[in-house]
C-alpha cells in the first residue's frame, strides 16, 4: 500500500521476467545457505593454518635458543611443548633445501613436496637466521569434523526455511498465474485499465477455489465494494467525457493508494471491487479504507473546472470456499448500500442483519409493485397554520394500506421506491390522488389555499415530471398555485447541477410553490435559496422540540427565522407539540406552524369533517386547537 498499512496481496502485474521467476525466496535461502557453508569452510581452514604457523613459531623459538652447532638438535623441551598441540604431526628444521626432522608423532611423516589436502604443511621462516625455516605438518581431521557439523546445521536450517517458503509461495504463484491470465488485454476495462467485471470475478473464483487453508472457513482476506458518491451529479452536469475523466482519475488513485499487488476491478459504471488477500484484521482494513476515501475524495481537475466525488465502501471478510462469488459480491454490495444509507463517505463491514434487511426490502419492492397496480395507497393530511391560527394549507403524506400487514409506514417503503425507481410512478399516483382530494374538498365549499406534497431528487430528475404534473392539474381543473412541492434541504442543495435544477426552475417559473423541508438538518447556500425562488423554509422538528428543554440554545433557531425575514419568505415550524413552543415561536416571529398540537395527520374524509368543525369554531385556548383524534386510521 503506497500510503497505508502493508499487506500481502494477490499479484496483479503482468508476467514476471525470467530472472524474477527463477530467483524465488526459497532459492535465495538455499543459495545463501551454500554460500555460508563455503565461507565457514574457508574461514576454518585459514584458522587451522594460522594455528599451525603459531605453533611453528613457538617451536622455532625453542630451537634457536640452543647454542650454535654444526647440526641442529631437537631441544629436550620441544616434545613437551608440542604435546598439547595434537594437530601438529611433525616438525622439520631446514637450512636451505636440507631438512632434518626434529619432532614427529607416531606413524607421522615429515613434510614432503607435493599436493595434499590432509595433512597439510606450512613453512615458518626464521626471523633471526636468514635461510632457515621450520616445516610444520598439521592434521585437519578435527577441523573438518567441526566444519561438517556446522555446515550440516546450516544446510538443515536453510532447507527447512526454503521448504516453508516454497509451501507459502505455491498458492501465491497460483493466484499470480490466475491474475496474469485475467489481465489479458481483452479482459481489461478499456477506460480505466483495471480488470473488467468478467476478469475480476474469474480471478476471485480462482482464489476462492484455490488450495484449502489449514482450517476450513478461516478468514482469508477481504472483498471490498466501492461506489462513488456524487458521480451522477458530475456526469449530468459536465457530461460523460467529464465522467470518464473522474473514473480514470479514481482508478489511478486506487492503484496508487492500494499498490500494484492488489486485485482491483471495475464492475461497471462507478462501481469498483478490490480483493485483499491474507488480511484478517478489520482494524487494518478500516485504516486502509480511511486512506482510500481520503485519496479518492481529493479535488479532480476536469478541464477548467475542479470538482470532487466521495466514496462509500462495503467490506466482507472472506471465508474461502464456503460460498460462491456471487454471494460474496452480494454481501459486500449490501455493506456498501448500508454505508450509503448511513451517511456516505465511510466503510461498513457486512453483518447478517443486512441480509435480513435486504430480503425485507426485496419483499417490500415486490409488494410495492403490486400496490401501485392495485392502488393500495391513500393520502393523509396535516394542516399548516399561520400566526393567527388560520389554516393556510395542508401537507399530504402518502400511506400504504397493505392487504396483510395493515398500514405500512412510509419510512419502510419510500427508501425502497427511491432506490429502485418506483418513486416515479408512485409520485405520479400521489399527485393525482392529492389533486382529486383537493377538488373533492373544494366541492364541499371548504376553502383550502393549497396542498403541499414531498418530491424526491429521483422525481425531479425525471424529464417527464413537469409534463406529467401539468397534465394532471389540467385534468382536475387546478392551477399551479394550488400545489406546493416540498424538497429536502439536501435535495435543494445537491440537485442544483443537472436535470433537477432545470425541473425546479420550470416549476417555480410556472407558479408552483417551492418549500425547503427539514431546514437546518443539512447545509444551505443563501445564493442557492434565492436562485430557486423558494417560498418557505420548514424548520426541522429537532430545533422546535428543543424549545423549553434544559440547555436549549435559541441562537440557531432565531437565526433561521431571521433569515427567512431577510429573504422575504415564510418560516414554518415543524413538529410543534406544546403550548410553550407556540409561545416562543410566535415571539421569535415564526410565521407558520405545523404539528400534532394543532392536528394529527388525518385521512381525506377526516380532513373534510375536521374543517367543517373549524368553521366558526373558536373554542380554543390561547389560540391553539386541541389535538385531533384520528381513530379512523385504525379502521383504514
| All residues at 6 or more sequence positions from 632 whose CB lies less than 8 Å from its CB, including other chains | 602, 603, 605, 606
Cα angle 260, 264, 268; round to 5 = 150
Structural domain spans, the chain: 1-171, 183-350, 368-635
SS3 content of the chain, % helix, strand, coil (to 5): 50, 20, 30
Q: Average model confidence (pLDDT) for the chain?
A: 81
Residue range 368-635 in CATH 3.40.50.970: no
Output DSSP code: residue 622.
Answer: T
| H/E element, 485 | strand 483-488
Question: Could you tell me which residue, 221 or 402, shows the higher pLDDT?
Answer: 402
Cα separations (Å) of 572 from 7, 178, 181, 521, 578? 54, 62, 63, 14, 15
**C-alpha cell at position 28:** 535465495
Answer whether 199's CB lies under 8 Å from 252's CB: no
| Average pLDDT score over residue span 368-388 | 92
User: Residue 199, class by beta-carbon neighbours within 10 Å (0-12 exposed, 13-18 middle, 19+ buried)?
Assistant: buried
Q: How far apart are alpha carbons 90 and 74 in whole angstroms?
A: 12
Q: How far apart are alpha carbons 309 and 301 in whole angstroms?
A: 11
- Among 247-251, 297-301, 319-323, name the one with the lowest average pLDDT: 319-323
Question: Could you tell me which residue, 54 or 497, shows the higher pLDDT?
Answer: 54
pLDDT in tens, 487-517: 876 666 654 456 788 888 899 899 999 998 8
Percent of the chain past pLDDT 90, that is, above it, reads 36
Answer whether 453's CB lies under 8 Å from 485's CB: yes
Asked if residue 75 has pLDDT above 90, the reply is no
pLDDT at 267: 93
Answer whether 274's CB lies under 8 Å from 254's CB: yes
Domains 183-350 and 368-635 share a fold: no
Answer yes or no: pTM beyond 0.85: no
> Residue 194 — φ and ψ, nearest 5°?
-85, 175
Question: Could you tell me which residue, 232 or 385, shows the higher pLDDT?
Answer: 385
460474496: which residue's cell? 328
**C-alpha cell at position 360:** 425485507
pLDDT at 123: 83
Q: With H, G, I as helix, E, B as strand and everything else as coil, classify residue 90.
A: strand
Asked if residue 252 has pLDDT above 90, the reply is yes
User: Residue 186, class by beta-carbon neighbours within 10 Å (0-12 exposed, 13-18 middle, 19+ buried)?
Assistant: exposed
Answer whether 393's CB lies under 8 Å from 484's CB: yes
DSSP line for 265-322: EEEETTEEEEEE-S---HHHHHHHHHHHHHHHTS-EEETTEEE--EEEEEEEEEETTS
| Average pLDDT score over residue span 197-204 | 91
Number of separate helices (H) and strands (E) present in the chain: 22, 21
Strands 391-402 and 406-408: antiparallel
Rg over alpha carbons for the chain, rounded to the nearest Å, is 44
Q: How far apart are alpha carbons 451 and 453 in whole angstroms?
A: 7
Q: With H, G, I as helix, E, B as strand and everything else as coil, classify residue 553.
A: coil
Cα angle 231, 234, 238; round to 5 = 150
DSSP line for 193-221: SSB-HHHHHHHHHHHHTSSPPSSTT-EEE
Answer whether 145's CB lies under 8 Å from 125's CB: no
CATH architecture of structural domain 183-350:
2-Layer Sandwich (3.30)
Amino acid at each position: 500500500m503506497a500510503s497505508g498499512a502493508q499487506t500481502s496481496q494477490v499479484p496483479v502485474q503482468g508476467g514476471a521476467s525470467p530472472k524474477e521467476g527463477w530467483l524465488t525466496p526459497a532459492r535465495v535461502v538455499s543459495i545463501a545457505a551454500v554460500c555460508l557453508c563455503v565461507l565457514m569452510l574457508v574461514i576454518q581452514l585459514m584458522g587451522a593454518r594460522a594455528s599451525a604457523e603459531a605453533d611453528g613459531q613457538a617451536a622455532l623459538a625453542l630451537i634457536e635458543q640452543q647454542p650454535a652447532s654444526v647440526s641442529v638438535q631437537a631441544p629436550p623441551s620441544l616434545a613437551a611443548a608440542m604435546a598439547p598441540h595434537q594437530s601438529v604431526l611433525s616438525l622439520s628444521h631446514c637450512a636451505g633445501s636440507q631438512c632434518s626432522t626434529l619432532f614427529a608423532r607416531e606413524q607421522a611423516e615429515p613434510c614432503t613436496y607435493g599436493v595434499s589436502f590432509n595433512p597439510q604443511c606450512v613453512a615458518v621462516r626464521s626471523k633471526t637466521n636468514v635461510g632457515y625455516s621450520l616445516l610444520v605438518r598439521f592434521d585437519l581431521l578435527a577441523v573438518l569434523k567441526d566444519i561438517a557439523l556446522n555446515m550440516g546445521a546450516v544446510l538443515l536450517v536453510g532447507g527447512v526455511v526454503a521448504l516453508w517458503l516454497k509451501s507459502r509461495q505455491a498458492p501465491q504463484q497460483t493466484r499470480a498465474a490466475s491474475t496474469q491470465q485475467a489481465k489479458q488485454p481483452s479482459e481489461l476495462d478499456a477506460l480505466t485499465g483495471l480488470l473488467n467485471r468478467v476478469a475480476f470475478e474469474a480471478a476471485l473464483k480462482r482464489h476462492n477455489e484455490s488450495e484449502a487453508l489449514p482450517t476450513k472457513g478461516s478468514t482469508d482476506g477481504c472483498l471490498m465494494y466501492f461506489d462513488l458518491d456524487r458521480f451522477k451529479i458530475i456526469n449530468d452536469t459536465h457530461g460523460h467525457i467529464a465522467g470518464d475523466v473522474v473514473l480514470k482519475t479514481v482508478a489511478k488513485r486506487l492503484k496508487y493508494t492500494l499498490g500494484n499487488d492488489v486485485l482491483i476491478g471495475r464492475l461497471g459504471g462507478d462501481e469498483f471491487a478490490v480483493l485483499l488477500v491474507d488480511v484478517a484484521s478489520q482494524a487494518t482494513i478500516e485504516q486502509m479504507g480511511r486512506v482510500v476515501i481520503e485519496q479518492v475524495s481529493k479535488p479532480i481537475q476536469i478541464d477548467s473546472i475542479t470538482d470532487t466525488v466521495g466514496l462509500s465502501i462495503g467490506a466482507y471478510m472472506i471465508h474461502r470456499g464456503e460460498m460462491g462469488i456471487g454471494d460474496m459480491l452480494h454481501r459486500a454490495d449490501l455493506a456498501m448500500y448500508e454505508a450509503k444509507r448511513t451517511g456516505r463517505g465511510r466503510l461498513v463491514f457486512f453483518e447478517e442483519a443486512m441480509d435480513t434487511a435486504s430480503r425485507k426490502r426485496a419483499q417490500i419492492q415486490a409488494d410495492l409493485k403490486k400496490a401501485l397496480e392495485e392502488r393500495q395507497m391513500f393520502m393523509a393530511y396535516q394542516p399548516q397554520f399561520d400566526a393567527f391560527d388560520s389554516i393556510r394549507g395542508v401537507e399530504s403524506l402518502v400511506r400504504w394500506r397493505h392487504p396483510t400487514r395493515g398500514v405500512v409506514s412510509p419510512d419502510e417503503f419510500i427508501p425502497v421506491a427511491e432506490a429502485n425507481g418506483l418513486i416515479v410512478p408512485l409520485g405520479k399516483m400521489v399527485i393525482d390522488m392529492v389533486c382529486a382530494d383537493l377538488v373533492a374538498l373544494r366541492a364541499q365549499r371548504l376553502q383550502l389555499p393549497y396542498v403541499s406534497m414531498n418530491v424526491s431528487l429521483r422525481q425531479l430528475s425525471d424529464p417527464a415530471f413537469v409534463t406529467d404534473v401539468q397534465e394532471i392539474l389540467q385534468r382536475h381543473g387546478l392551477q399551479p398555485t394550488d400545489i406546493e412541492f416540498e424538497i429536502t434541504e439536501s435535495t435543494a442543495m445537491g440537485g442544483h447541477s443537472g436535470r433537477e435544477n432545470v425541473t425546479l426552475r420550470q416549476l417555480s417559473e410556472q407558479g408552483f410553490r417551492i418549500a425547503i423541508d427539514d431546514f437546518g438538518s443539512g447545509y444551505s447556500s443563501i445564493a442557492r435559496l434565492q436562485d430557486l425562488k423558494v417560498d418557505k423554509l420548514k424548520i426541522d422538528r429537532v430545533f422546535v422540540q428543543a424549545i423549553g428543554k434544559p440547555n436549549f440554545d435559541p441562537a440557531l433557531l432565531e437565526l433561521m427565522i431571521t433569515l427567512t425575514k431577510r429573504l422575504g419568505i415564510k418560516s414554518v415550524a415543524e413538529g410543534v407539540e406544546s403550548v410553550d413552543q407556540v409561545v416562543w415561536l410566535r415571539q421569535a416571529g415564526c410565521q407558520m406552524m405545523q404539528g400534532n398540537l394543532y392536528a394529527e395527520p388525518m385521512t381525506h374524509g377526516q380532513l373534510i369533517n375536521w374543517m367543517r368543525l373549524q368553521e366558526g369554531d373558536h373554542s380554543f385556548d390561547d389560540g391553539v386547537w386541541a389535538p385531533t383524534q384520528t381513530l379512523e386510521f385504525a379502521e383504514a
